[in-house]
Amino acid sequence: MNGTEETAPTQPQHAAAENPNFVPALVVIDMQNDFVSGSLAVPGGETIIDSINCLIDLPFRLRIATRDFHPDNHVSFADTQKNALFSKVMIYHPDDKEQLFGIEQVMWPVHCVGYTDGSDFVPKLNSKVFDAVIHKGTHPDIESYSAFRDIWGKSETDLPRLLKEKEVTDVFFVGLAGDYCVKYTAIDAAEYGYNTWVVTDAIKSIAEDETVHFDQMQKKGIKFTTAVDVKTMVQRRPVY
């Protein structure tokens, strides 16, 4: 992640690791072909695969992956809206017939269309060990950056239920992109009451200057750590 060391100071991890109630989960965000080498490639995305695989091997209580899994006419696509790439437009929930609660949406290139190669996990990712895979953005008219819920907060995925069932206390986030799906999922995790950690050397962002995004997360109580420190934390916990 560009400039991570300067913009995201890490926090001490020992208190979490020594907490007898420490139950960690790993959430791997959107390590898909289109985000690594395809139509919406995040710079440097391929460089974090090895670090993520090392974390996947650790004894987390849950190991979950997310995938964008869009229909080919998704509301976030510039082609769908007939707008310029990376321009911004207001979109509305399909239930908001009077269009009272709009949210600004970036117009993306077509990406991660369900059941295409672009939506598949990158081949080098150790994807066979995930306990669950959460699909996001499956409705043509609803955007979902967070793996918890859509951008209006009207519908949840299975992620809140899975974390609750396994009595998870701490959630660690890695993957792509740090300034979009990682950020918004981490913010939701904090709002749902979890101790939330972003592993700064296992994420990459679209933006070159990530300071504002780290500031937003830090203000929500999100902690920053490294893959080495996560290994220390998780290996100290009891093995389930």
158 is catalytic: no
The phi-psi region of residue 158 (left if phi > 0; otherwise alpha if psi is between -120 and 50; otherwise beta) is alpha
117 is catalytic: no
Pick the closest to residue 56 from 238, 227, 178 (CA basis).
227
- Which one of 150, 170, 179, 181 is the catalytic residue? 181
Question: What distances in angstroms separate CA 6 from CA 1, 75, 221, one per listed residue?
Answer: 11, 36, 18
- Which one of 30, 150, 170, 188 is the catalytic residue? 30
- Which one of 136, 183, 204, 223 is the catalytic residue? 136
CA distance 146 to 188: 7
| Contact indicator for 85, 109 with CB cutoff of 8 Å | yes
Vertex 202 angle, CA 144 and 162, to 5°:
50
68 is catalytic: no
- CB crowding 95-104: b at 16 or more within 10 Å, else e: eeeeeeeeee
Angle between helices 227-236 and 49-56 (to 10 degrees): 0
- Active site positions, annotated: 30, 136, 181
